[in-house]
Amino acid sequence: MRLAAILNPKAGGWARLQDAQDRQDPAAAVARWLAPEAPESVWTRETRAPGDGARLACEALAQGYETLVAVGGDGTINAIVQGVQSAQAADQVRLGLLPMGTANVLARVLEVPLEDPQAAARIIRAGQERRIDLGRMGERWFVLVAGIGFDGAVTQAVNLGLKERIGEWAYVLAAARAALSFPRCRVTLTLDGATPQEFDAYLVLVANGGRYAGQFLLSPEVSPSDGLLDVFVCLHRRPLARAVAADALALTRGHLDRAPGVRRFRARHIVLETDCPLPVELDGDAAGQTPAIIEVVPNVLRVLVP
């Protein structure tokens, strides 16, 4: 198996490693984990700036690598997927996961070990595949979730330097600030061409996987392999901070859809319009604002899993 590893040296997981040498030389550590008997055979590249993940994925594909390993968090995975899809190479390549990020949502969904990179590397070498769906909004792809409204505002507001220092708590602080000033907005949803539905909502989550923001479970029924996207509409209530807290509590219990202020739908094609522009995030990266047209592309990504 010829392996190309694309790693984010600033991902939060490197600080958790016990071995100081691995922290200082991430590329050498990754090569050793993936190919203990021939680490020099692993093509390793580090991301340094936005867009590097997609560019390096295209470079690896051009050199004939058929297994790309994402070493980082969900942002690294998303960047590689952008490159693979732009090269129209989804059927030619497999994606391996070495979770080194802050939340590692896809790794949690697919039950890839989070704390033992060598165990995750063994899964990659074993070569067991699973096909999963992807979501698409225009020319942008997402693996896990599109967040419209409050979620997008938090993503845009989070301090990246603070995130490197305190991890997920940076999002908590950004959410607290956003809850004080987020505007009230009317959302119109058209699902699979049916009659449009209107909601006074502060957040719409379009989910391809069942987990959200790391350890939280949206619902045990959400699957990345069912050819559908799950839509969670969080209704706007006053005060907004109390509504956010109530929905967050439901999220910690693994059933966001059971919260009184949440509505859930399932669809393949979603048109989302708003009476004021709302920010959008895809897998934790800012992706413009509404209106948005989102669709699922079934069984398009090959992932190496336990």
pLDDT digits (tens, 9 = 90+) for 258-285: 888 999 999 999 999 999 899 898 988 8
Whether the full predicted model's pTM is greater than 0.75, yes or no, is yes
What pLDDT, on the 0 to 100 scale, is given for residue 164? Answer: 61
What pLDDT, on the 0 to 100 scale, is given for residue 13? Answer: 84
pLDDT band at 181 (very low <50, low <70, confident <90, very high): low
Q: What is the DSSP letter of 194?
A: -
Residue 202 has pLDDT above 70, yes or no: yes
CA distance 20 to 223: 38
- pLDDT above 90 as % of the chain: 61
**Mean pLDDT of the chain, nearest integer:** 89
Domains and CATH numbers, the chain: 3-127 (3.40.50.10330), 142-298 (2.60.200.40)
Residue 303 has pLDDT above 70, yes or no: yes
Query: Between residues 169 and 232, which one has the greater pLDDT?
Result: 232
The string over 120-149, giving b where at least 16 C-beta atoms fall within 10 Å of a residue's C-beta and e elsewhere, is bbebbeeeeeeebbbbbbeebbbbbbbbbb
State the helix-helix crossing angle for 26-34 and 117-126, rounded to 10 degrees. 50
Query: Between residues 19 and 32, which one has the greater pLDDT?
Result: 32
What pLDDT, on the 0 to 100 scale, is given for residue 302? Answer: 96
Write out pLDDT tens, residues 110-120: 999 998 999 99
Write out pLDDT tens, residues 118-168: 999 999 999 899 999 999 999 999 999 999 988 877 776 565 555 566 556
What pLDDT, on the 0 to 100 scale, is given for residue 196? Answer: 97
Give the helix, strand, coil percentages of the chain, each rounded to 5.
35, 35, 30
Overall average pLDDT of the 90-106 stretch:
91
Q: Pairing state of beta strands 229-235 and 211-212?
A: unpaired
Out of 35-49, 204-218, 222-236, pick the least confident: 204-218
pLDDT band at 31 (very low <50, low <70, confident <90, very high): very high
